[in-house]
């Protein structure tokens, strides 16, 4: 059974600080995705990483896929209150396979 773990579970930081959240698995995935979910809404895709060692940047967000394709990290620089939300990592074995989700990291950025 594929499982994704995320850490930390909760994170509360001051505006302007940097942070990193982690996603780990014992399984190899063909790709990992990061989603952001706000209360009462569906997850919204931020990025997909497919190549081991790949780094992608999306404004102040930097995503990295581990060399072995079992883990990923999300780094946010100079966090803003608008970054508050639940950050979910998700993995798929193939392009057509089901996507499974980790439990999420709940981020709160305090003004």
Of 18 and 27, nearer to another protein (C-beta) is: 27
Query: DSSP strand E in 1-111: where?
Result: 5-7, 10-14, 19-24, 31-37, 44-49, 55-58, 61-65, 71-76, 85-92, 99-101, 105-110
Q: Which residues bind another protein (CB under 8 A)?
A: 30-31, 33, 37, 40-45, 48, 50, 88, 90, 92, 94-104
Q: How far is the CB of 33 from another protein (least distance, A)?
A: 6
Q: How far is the CB of 7 from another protein (least distance, A)?
A: 14
Query: CA-CA distances (angstroms) from residue 76 to 63, 83, 87?
Result: 9, 9, 11
Q: How far is the CB of 44 from another protein (least distance, A)?
A: 7
Of 1 and 14, nearer to another protein (C-beta) is: 1
Of 14 and 96, nearer to another protein (C-beta) is: 96
**Tally of CB atoms within 10 A around 49:** 21
């Amino acid at each position: 059974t594929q499982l994704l773990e995320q850490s930390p579970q909760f994170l509360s930081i001051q505006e302007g600080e940097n942070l990193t959240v982690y996603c780990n698995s014992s399984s190899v995935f063909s790709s990992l995705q990061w989603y952001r979910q706000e209360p009462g809404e569906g997850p919204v895709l931020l990025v997909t990483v497919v190549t081991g060692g790949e780094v992608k940047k999306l404004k102040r967000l930097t995503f990295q896929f581990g060399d072995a394709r079992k883990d990923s990290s999300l780094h946010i620089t100079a966090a803003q209150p608008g970054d508050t939300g639940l950050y979910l990592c998700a993995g798929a074995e193939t392009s057509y396979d089901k996507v499974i989700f980790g439990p999420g990291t709940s981020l709160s950025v305090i003004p």
